[in-house]
Amino acid sequence: MQASARAYLEGGRTGAGLAALRAEVGRLMAGFAENGAVAVEPAALLPADILIDLYGEDLRARAYTTHDPILGEQMLRPDFTVPVAQMHLESGAAKGRYAYAGSVWRRQEPGSARPVEYLQCGFEAFGDTNTAQADAEVFALLAEALRGAPVAPIVGDMGIILAGIAALETTAPRKAALMRHLWRPERFKRLLERYAAPTPQNKSRGALLTAVKTNTLEALLGTHGPTIGLRSVAEIQKRAEVLLEDANTPPIPATQVALLERALGIKAPMGEAIKALRKIAIEMPALTLATDMIEARAEAISTFGIDGFQLPFEASYGRTTLEYYDGFVFGFAAEGRTDLPQIAQGGRYGALTRAMGRETPAVGGIIRPEALLALGGDT
């Protein structure tokens, strides 16, 4: 790679290329400011333990970390949402709108052509209690910023899968396990299939569970010699009790699994998707509130001159991004450019603020200016 190349933009670090990139960042930031955003600039080096707790352990493999003898483990900023949310919550303000621009860093798989450093320009809004209207405003703001660029929008809603899991007739531990794998669709599918099938009989596991039932676990372990490893007998006992409870749990009804899979498989214009969800909600009423929100959002988007009911909707969209979205999700993809990531993306993340100690309505989105300029167009 040439020294002047950056992310997806050749020549973006020197001369005219750098000037064009700075001008594009300035244009985006000015648009955010016109919509009430205050410019902020979080630190590039952040406490790693807090970020890993909030983003999820999977982030560690993709983050650049270092250890400081005074500050402890630190991490190069993987995105802006968490540090901006922290700034807002620490301010004590009920509402706030913020704009930012700067580099983020992510490790990539060996052989990947994706950059390890790239720019994000973003807008975050906190405290707006009219959820549908706030979602629509952020979506419309990014759509306007991308006007003239060859990009196509897509929208979804994590509320569908969250409501579907909550409605399943199964135990809280099984629901929690499904929740942990929301953002890993293949693992989620395998886990759901396993929970829908009868528990298989396993001789070794059967002996372990019998020992738990009869309080002879320590004796059973003793027949295999001294324990090896870090787990104590008490820890093995606790884990075995979890396995025993799971072994005695009836399968999730096949009808419920089929309804959830039908809902998650929906890909259609938003108006058609709403109709399809309404039909499923007749048999799975827990989806009704999430569907109501989708319809209200489509109506709100339409007030910005965009036909919300014609937007492409995918119920499973957003399940491979960072693990904090819990409602509306959206993106803008470069048409015919599979070499580029999504040019823009965003969503709602109220649950993240709850984990940070003060739940507040929160929605935002980012644009990748280098990728946007690499597209050309009239922005």
Say which CATH number the domain at 341 has.
3.30.930.10
Show the domain range for 37: 15-158+318-375
Per-residue model confidence (pLDDT) at position 222 = 47
Give, as one character, the DSSP assignment of residue 239: H
Per-residue model confidence (pLDDT) at position 119 = 96
In a domain, 27, yes or no: yes
Q: Bigger pLDDT: 76 or 4?
A: 76
185 and 150 fall within a common domain: no
In a domain, 152, yes or no: yes
Query: Could you please report the per-residue DSSP string of 82-148?
Result: HHHHHHHHHHT-S-EEEEEEEEEE----TT--S-SEEEEEEEEEE----HHHHHHHHHHHHHHHTTT
Per-residue model confidence (pLDDT) at position 237 = 55
The residues that bridge with 269 in the sheet, in sequence order, are: 312
Per-residue model confidence (pLDDT) at position 309 = 98
In a domain, 29, yes or no: yes
- Per-residue confidence at 253, pLDDT binned at 50, 70, 90? very high
- Per-residue confidence at 225, pLDDT binned at 50, 70, 90? very low
Per-residue model confidence (pLDDT) at position 228 = 44
147 and 55 fall within a common domain: yes
Tokens of 296: 């209200």
Instruction: For the chain, state the CA radius of gyration.
Output: 24
Domain boundary among 247, 268, 300: 247
Distance of CA 252 to the CA centre of its chain: 26
- Mean pLDDT (whole number) for 71-94: 92
Per-residue model confidence (pLDDT) at position 230 = 52
43 and 135 fall within a common domain: yes
The percentage of the chain sitting over the pLDDT mark of 90, rounded to a whole number, equals: 63
Per-residue model confidence (pLDDT) at position 215 = 56
In a domain, 312, yes or no: no
186 and 130 fall within a common domain: no
Per-residue model confidence (pLDDT) at position 241 = 57
Are 374 and 190 a contacting pair, CB within 8 Å?
Answer: no
Alpha-carbon distance 169 to 253, whole Å?
7
In a domain, 288, yes or no: no
Domain boundary among 194, 219, 247: 247
Per-residue model confidence (pLDDT) at position 235 = 60
In a domain, 284, yes or no: no
Q: Is residue 56 pLDDT above 70, yes or no?
A: no
Per-residue model confidence (pLDDT) at position 224 = 46
Tokens of 369: 């200016």
- In the chain, at which residue ranges do the beta strands (DSSP E only) sit? 38-39, 45-47, 65-68, 72-76, 96-105, 117-126, 151-157, 267-269, 312-314, 328-334, 344-348, 362-367
101 and 235 fall within a common domain: no
- Per-residue confidence at 183, pLDDT binned at 50, 70, 90? confident
Per-residue model confidence (pLDDT) at position 146 = 97
Q: Is residue 236 pLDDT above 60, yes or no?
A: no
154 and 208 fall within a common domain: no
133 and 213 fall within a common domain: no
Per-residue model confidence (pLDDT) at position 220 = 43
Of the listed ranges 19-28, 109-118, 170-179, the least confidently predicted one is 109-118
Average pLDDT, the chain: 87
Phi, psi of 329 (to 5 degrees): -135, 145
Distance of CA 89 to the CA centre of its chain: 20
Q: Bigger pLDDT: 58 or 280?
A: 280
186 and 114 fall within a common domain: no
* Predicted TM-score of the model (pTM): 0.86
Q: Is residue 42 pLDDT above 50, yes or no?
A: yes
Q: Where does residue 376 fall: left (phi above 0), alpha (psi -120 to 50 degrees), or beta otherwise?
A: left
Of the listed ranges 22-31, 222-231, 322-331, the least confidently predicted one is 222-231
The percentage of the chain sitting over the pLDDT mark of 70, rounded to a whole number, equals: 83
339 and 207 fall within a common domain: no
136 and 64 fall within a common domain: yes
129 and 74 fall within a common domain: yes
96 and 143 fall within a common domain: yes
In a domain, 30, yes or no: yes
- Per-residue confidence at 206, pLDDT binned at 50, 70, 90? low
Per-residue model confidence (pLDDT) at position 344 = 97
Domain boundary among 192, 221, 247: 247
Please tell me the total count of domains within the chain: 2
For 366, half-sphere exposure in the C-beta direction (CA atoms, 13 angstrom radius) is: 22
- Per-residue confidence at 221, pLDDT binned at 50, 70, 90? very low
Q: Is residue 170 pLDDT above 90, yes or no?
A: yes
SS3 74: strand
Q: Is residue 64 pLDDT above 50, yes or no?
A: yes
